[in-house]
Amino acid sequence: LPALLAVFLAAPLAHAADRPGVVIQVSDNDPAKWNLALNNANNLISALGGPDKVEVEIVAYGPGLAMLKDDSVVGERLGDASSHGIALSACSNTMRAQHVTEAELHAGVRTVSAGVLEIMQRQREGWSYIRP
């Protein structure tokens, strides 16, 4: 891990905040995958020195959207993630297809037009991509 961290920190920063950005994809309705994604996000923030040192966004689409709903089994962890600066993004395309409203999402979840597009845009901005 230290060698990977050194490579990551040495990479040029391409987005405006001049701090590394990491986008994490979750497209599975699997609490274990969600817990892994949330652990990855928290571990990155800790390893890099806090939320002011790295931007982290978890993007959910397809079956993964279920974990961003207010009644999700990982709901309590979502609140913790938001309070630690982790952005949680839900795909509007998936919401329409699954007939999910914003009112059904956990507090603090934002919507994006398309989850895949959000990930693609973040990568174009120089963000690293992780899919647990």
Residue 117 class from Cβ within 10 Å (0-12 exposed, 13-18 middle, 19+ buried)?
A: middle
Instruction: Give the model confidence (pLDDT) of 32-57 as tens digits.
Output: 999 999 999 999 999 999 999 999 99
Tell me what the mean pLDDT of segment 7-20 comes to. 56
pLDDT band at 17 (very low <50, low <70, confident <90, very high): low
- 3-class DSSP assignment, residue 60: strand
Residue 21 pLDDT grade (very low, low, confident, very high; cuts 50, 70, 90): very high
- Residues 41/58, Cβ–Cβ less than 8 Å: yes
pLDDT of residue 4: 43
Instruction: Tell me: pLDDT of 116 over 80.
Output: yes
Question: Stretch 52-78: mean pLDDT, rounded?
Answer: 95
Instruction: List residues bridging with 55 in a β-sheet.
Output: 21
Beta strands 109-112 and 128-130 are unpaired
Which pLDDT belongs to residue 19?
86
Residue 126 reports pLDDT greater than 70:
yes
